[in-house]
Structure 1
């Protein structure tokens, strides 16, 4: 069952794959712990599992993520949908910069048009949001992008983007933000309620909290984290001890459904409505894990129980 991006936007699978780690050596150990062959196998497994939606960005692996996706797509005739992102660098100060960045992304992806084009961060420096949103609306009119999204925008910034695009007859389809059982700020800061009010879909990145919700990291099996996880205190031994009750609850609910903690955590996000989780995946096994979140549902009381267990005061 596909879900639309925004009110009447392009339809995509209810779960996507985030590709930040594809080709990225800066935060992830691409080339050491996994390589292009692993990613190609992950791509194929995703398609076989019915996941045809991939989220990338020009900044991921400095273009390498887009390039790999472009390569993999040449080897299938399945209708893959791609979301990518424009990075608002300080020296990009006119509308031409948006057109040029999109041209470069489309070239790497080997596509004439992209399903969703998002502004990666709400910076605008000298360009300003009005110029930026008008440049994106121009690209919709020209057919090079089908839907416009933003990422990491606050409720107020999202309202402004929505208003500027609406002036051009273009809907704001998406706000991509961090959202998981362990990162529920958007429920409190107005982003989730504003998105619902405006008909904007939430793409949830880090929906497994970089793996914390998989149950793979426990105090008993503690080893010092590597890569991007080194920066996160939740991966420390004391952080994992604090998290143990949530992991145990995910496990017990998962046992009732024959599912893993990760699949329960992803299903909880889907149950919120208007939310598409985009967990990362670096190999086929991780894709299969993610895909197991589909095709079943938590009960209302289980959704509430997980919410209560992860609610911050």
Structure 2
């Protein structure tokens, strides 16, 4: 399988601390039967010349013990991360983002998302590697840490750091939007996750990078491709979202 790999690093301008660095790897396949997404349907990333798939995979949790994985990293989680990488490639997703906190001292352990991604790429055959450095803007928290896809409810808010942000009051205000997302998903045979990702892709200038801990999550994300919400549905969800004040105070911003 022939491929070209390009890797890039850029600062996160959309977060409060612009000195944090994010690493990105993007791969272009010449031919492969396993590629299920439309490789011609790519977007330029920010102001760079690098073209990426319309959907990326976030790898922040890979190897992380400062926020994810219950502060522990083991062989089982390592295998799950590798499966997420392989599953993404099998579905044609060739854009990987390491982390919005890349560069934080707490993110740099014996293994982190950048070193793991580099290892996975290096294990592939017939590989050529290039480095591109550029600056662009990156948005964070596609799913509002799971709140936007029904992971939490007002009567069952998250624990730990998320509980201080996604309060029962916020989750109550979120319900009309969440209910409509589920209704639309039912009409298309799609999950709330896939509806949210498709809404972002419909903006045309957005490349969502949801985090995948395993192959099942990566494959679910791919289900956001190959179809499109109607313009009316895109506008309706935007209108419902505009009625909800954004949350602030994400714990990792203080690292």
Aligned mates of 2:149, 2:82 — CA distance in 1: 23
CA contact (8 A) 1:22 1:61 kept: no
Larger radius of gyration: 1
| Aligned partners of 2:64 and 2:73 also within 8 Å | no
1:243 equivalent in alignment to 2:180: no
Which secondary structure state, in structure 1, belongs to the residue aligned with residue 207 of structure 2? Answer: strand
State the TM-score, normalized to the length of structure 2: 0.69
1:77 Cα shift?
A: 4.0
**Corresponding position of 2:152:** 217
State the alpha-carbon separation in 2 of the partners of residues 75 and 54 from structure 1. 16
1:98-142 deviation per Cα after TM superposition (whole angstroms, max 9, x unaligned): xxxxxxxxxxxxx9643xxxxxxxxxxxxxxxxxxxxxxxxxxxx
Equivalence for 2:107: 61
Residue number in structure 1 paired with 2:92: 50
- Partner residue, 1:229: 162
Is the alpha carbon distance of 1:289 and 1:266 closer, same or farther for their aligned partners in structure 2, counting shifts above 3 Å?
same
1:294 Cα deviation (Å)?
0.9
Contact 1:42 1:287 in 2 (8 A): yes
Q: 2 CA distance for matches of 1:77 and 1:211?
A: 36
2:123 to 64, 71, 75: 75
Tell me by how many angstroms 1:247 deviates. Answer: 0.8
Matched residues in 1 for 2:126 and 2:223: separation?
21
Counterpart CA distance in 2 for 1:283 and 1:31 is: 16
Q: SS of 1:275's equivalent?
A: coil
Q: Go from structure 1 to structure 2 and tell me whether the alpha carbon gap of 1:291 and 1:279 turns closer, same or farther (over 3 Å shift).
A: same
Name the residue aligned to 1:40: 82
1:148 equivalent in alignment to 2:134? yes
Q: How does 1:96-245 map to 2 (within 5 A)?
A: 113-114=130-131, 146-149=132-135, 174-177=136-139, 205-219=140-154, 222=156, 224-226=158-160, 228-232=161-165, 234=166, 236-245=167-176
Q: How far apart, in 1, do the equivalents of 2:67 and 2:48 lie?
A: 36
| Mapped pair 1:293 → 2:212 | no
Equivalent residues of 2:200, 2:208 under 8 A apart: yes
State how far apart, in whole Å, the 2-side matches of 1:217 and 1:77 are. 42
Query: Aligned pair count?
Result: 196
| Aligned partner of 2:65 among 18, 21, 25 | 25
Q: TM-score, normalised by structure 1?
A: 0.57
Alpha-carbon distance change, 219 to 254 in structure 1, aligned in 2, over 3 angstroms: same
In the alignment, which residue of structure 1 is the partner of 2:52?
12
- Deviations 1:22-73 (Å, cap 9, x if unpaired)? 1111111253696111101111111111111011234473162111111111
| Corresponding residue to 1:312 among 199, 220, 243 | 243
Q: Structure 2 vs 1, CA of residues 3 and 224 (structure 1 numbering), >3 Å: closer, same or farther?
A: closer
Comparing both chains, which one has the higher relative contact order based on Cα–Cα distances under 8 Å and sequence gaps of 6 or more? 2
Unaligned runs of 5+ in 2: 1-40, 245-255
Q: Counting helix residues as a fraction of each chain, which structure ranks higher?
A: 1
